[in-house]
A and B are shown apart, each in its own frame.
Chain A
Amino acid sequence: MRSSARRTTAILGTAVAAFALLLTACGTDETAVPTATASAQGTATAAATQAAPVGVTVTDLMGRKVTVAKTPTKIVTTSPSALEMLYAAGGTAIARSSTAAAPGIDTSKMTDIGSAYQPNFEAILKLQPDLVVADASAQAPLAGQFEAQLKGVPVVFVGAVKYADVATSIRMLGLVTGTAEKAKTSADAIDATAKQVGDAVKGKTATKTLVVVAGRDGQLSAALNDSFIGDMVKIAGAQNIAAELKQSGQVPGYATISLETAFKDNPDVLLVIVPGNTPGPSISSIVARTFPNLNAVKNKRVHEISLDIFLQAPGPRAADGLKELTTFIQPDVKLGAAVVPGY
């Protein structure tokens, strides 16, 4: 009895070992095949590009050199910023990330490729795109995956850490999609808005301003100068009272703060970004109740500003956003109508 049990164990052990070895064998042997094929393809593409230099080579917003061999007709965007910048550059997309949407862009016929944080590479591959526009901020950690999963498909990363990056991204996209003229018009208008605002606030006393983002859990973060919104309020004539804070938390350009420390410096203007549909009282009403003597509260200068435009989807709408910020921060400045053309 004992020995037969031993034998069972031995058989089981051998079976499991064989099974595991089988898996291993599959893993090592056959991975070598696609790798070899892929590198062969890569070389072929490179050779073809060299032989017939019709393609456009650009440096994208992650500093990668990307060559697009022919004018793309099937463009996949993988983040809200990517979608909006592509349309501002005169391109059209066949796919977008789940939440990407902006006034003037018809997303009804676009394929949903999943969230910007977890783009679904199967869905992207199935579309057989000839260009993928990805996000240099949200998708920076996935850059390696984009290259590994989308072999042979050019991927350009766009994004904006500063306001000026919006125009840079759009101009770059224009070169890639063959719509450089349209892209230049949009980009020039976005740059012109910054110049117009900059000229208008020149010589004005900078307004003590604080920009806070309220997380879903009620935690607050302040935008530093090197965030997108931080750069924009500076252009709009603000003195960011959080500028001296050290970055903390997961996203570059923000520092975690508490309400008390946030208001120690008594900002004249308080700008609040609220992610999602937060149930309960808004952060601005809490501030008004808790800190009635704050300058910004007394003078009714607490404003809730767009999550989309200033945090989640930095893009062409930032030009209008910059004007809105200017009316909050330097209210006596008069600016003309929007200069950014529609898509």
Chain B
Amino acid sequence: MSLSVAMPDRRVRATAAVVVAAVLVVLSVVFACAVGAVHIPPGDVIDGLLDRSDPVTRQIVWQIRFPRALVAALVGANLGIAGVLLQGITRNPLGDPHILGFSAGAGVAAVGLLRVAPEVPLALVPAAAFGGALASAALVYALAWRGGISPVRFALAGVAVAALFTALSTALIATSKLFTQAALAFLAGGLYQRGWEHVHQVWPYTLVGGLIALIVADSLNVLALGDDVARGLGMRVERTRALLAALAAVLTGAAVAVVGLVAFVGLVVPHIARLLVGSDQRVVLPLSALLGALLLVLSDSIARVVVAPGEIPVGIITAIVGAPVLLILIRTRT
């Protein structure tokens, strides 16, 4: 098989890519701790992290920037993994929690809650978003079901649900009229004042979800051969697809519950990963998790710096940073 000839080179390449990406993630977190409204040199960042600095630096590095960077990394990883899973299930390069309506479900749940009961504690919004993402994924799945799921039907049902829920969110905001700061902030997505409590809110999902995704990554490879071949190889196609979709929904739900709707990460990151290491999902998956983390940590750093002391929604930056990277890779690699 030609594959076996290419294997050693591929493995070196894959390992190198994953290791480099992991190092870059760590460096990006240190970078994120150094930049902001107040400049802190990298040496002082390390001192701040190790509690050897003055109290102000310590507070800025340890209570504001470091946990925020970790939240960005965890959420980016979640979205990257969810993107790989959804692109695998739908066998469609546009598979993404945002495009397939999972995020839109979270959005409509959060905005609907703020609209119906504006006086609810803002702490309930993440729970609503999480539930919305799961419900929306279940709806997409149910709509795509006709004695089985076809990948194309799943993708189209997702796009339809995304359009419907996005319209509903807009309608809810438009009719609630004047003051919709909280709702708009959620839809734009952002990491303002995300701290340790949010780190603790996401990491179990990233860890457990990421491990499960790694274990089942090989089944994505099999699914890629087509349903008939997969069945021929003994896979229970529907059950596998449902499990992968549920996993993607949980990862997305945990992510959007914490940062709101951040588009583009789940879409662009798996493509970049595949262009770097090929199509073996067992490599694409961890690499996408790392690249997702890297993209969101760097994007959030930019979001905090460009209009400091203010900031702009991170979703805008992920698109501005991610789109050219993807385009360059698509055009320079055959």
Contact = CB atoms under 8 A, between A and B. Distances in A.
Interface stretch (B128-136, B171-179, B222-230, B244-252): B171-179
B37 A123 contact: yes
Interface of B: 3-4, 7, 11, 14-15, 18, 22, 36-38, 51, 56, 58-60, 62-65, 67, 70, 73-74, 114, 118, 122, 174-183, 192-193, 195-196, 199-200, 203, 206-207, 210-211, 214-215, 217-218, 280, 282-283, 286, 289, 308-311
A318 interface: no
A221 interface: yes
Given A27-B67, A123-B309, 10 more contacts: A9-B217, A12-B286, A23-B203, A98-B310, A148-B63, A149-B59, A249-B179, A250-B176, A250-B179, A250-B181
B178 A254 contact: yes
Contacts of A125: 38, 56, 59-60, 64
A71 interface: no
Interface residues of A, number: 52
A248 to B, nearest CB: 7
B176 A16 contact: no
B290 to A, nearest CB: 8
A45 interface: no
Nearest to B122: A141
Contacts of B309: 98, 112-114, 120, 122-123
Nearest to B307: A114
A285 interface: no
A250 B200 contact: no
B177 to A, nearest CB: 4
A8 B14 contact: yes
A69 B200 CA distance: 35
Interface in A1-35: 1, 4-5, 8-9, 12-13, 15-17, 19-21, 23-24, 27, 30-31, 33-34
Contacts of B211: 13, 16-17
A282 interface: no
Contact of A27 (B18, B60, B199, B311): B199
A20 B4 contact: no
A250 B310 contact: no
Nearest to B67: A27
Interface stretch (A181-189, A211-219, A260-268, A288-296): A211-219
Contacts of B4: 1
A286 B131 CA distance: 43
Contact of A122 (B37, B114, B200): B37
Contact of A23 (B70, B286, B310, B311): B70
B186 to A, nearest CB: 12
A151 B59 contact: yes
A33 B48 CA distance: 13
Nearest to A9: B282
Nearest to B285: A12
Nearest to A34: B62
A121 B199 CA distance: 19
Nearest to B182: A250
A19 B176 CA distance: 44
B214 A221 contact: no
Per DSSP, chain B at the interface is helix
Contacts of B196: 27, 31
Interface string A94-126: 000010000000000000111101101111011
Nearest to B206: A20
Nearest to B184: A250
A148 to B, nearest CB: 7
Contacts of B59: 125, 149, 151
Nearest to A121: B64
Contacts of B282: 5, 8-9, 12
A256 B179 CA distance: 10
Contact of B207 (A20, A115, A142, A220): A20
A86 B11 CA distance: 65
A192 to B, nearest CB: 33
Nearest to B208: A20
A100 to B, nearest CB: 13
Given A9-B282, A126-B60, A221 B177 contact: yes
Contact of B177 (A13, A21, A123, A215): A215
A118 B310 CA distance: 7
A249 B15 contact: no
A9 to B, nearest CB: 5
A13 B214 contact: yes
Among A1, A5, A16, A221, residue most surrounded by chain B Cβ atoms (within 10 Å): A16
Given A8-B15, A98-B310, A125-B59, A250 B178 contact: yes
Contacts of A23: 70, 73-74, 203
16 contacts: A8-B14, A13-B211, A15-B286, A20-B210, A27-B70, A27-B200, A114-B37, A120-B309, A122-B65, A125-B59, A141-B182, A219-B178, A249-B118, A250-B178, A250-B179, A256-B178
A278 interface: no
Interface in A180-220: 213, 215, 217, 219-220
Interface in A126-182: 126, 128, 141-142, 145, 148-149, 151
Contacts of B218: 9
Given A98-B310, A220-B177, A249-B118, A20 B203 contact: yes
Given A20-B206, A149-B63, A128 B56 contact: yes
A243 B73 CA distance: 49
A299 B288 CA distance: 67
